[in-house]
Amino acid sequence: MKKIKITELTAFLEKILIKNGLTKPDAKIVAEDYVTGELDGKFSHGILAFLGIPSQLKVGVGKKPKIVKQSAGHAFINGNQALGPLVA
């Protein structure tokens, strides 16, 4: 088994995301979210989950989330198929 530094893994994921249409700032947010999921032991939100992201990007890149309804205590947001970390 080969070991990889967290910073190298994050940078690698960022490159994949940028190659698939995300901006550098958005790629950083998403990559860090998936690496954090992996480190926290939440494998459903870790590296294995990341493997499906490039195909999702083909559907959702460029679409911006829209606030449908908002009040002092909550907001209902239509994510428009954008990635969860970016919608949040």
Predicted pLDDT at 61: 61
pTM of structure? 0.80
The DSSP element (H or E) to which 62 belongs, if any, is: none
Residues forming beta bridges with residue 66, ordered by sequence position: 78
pLDDT tens for the chain, residues 1 to 88: 889 999 999 999 999 999 988 899 999 999 999 999 999 998 888 988 898 888 778 766 657 889 999 999 999 999 887 888 888 8
d(CA 64, CA 60): 9
Predicted pLDDT at 44: 84
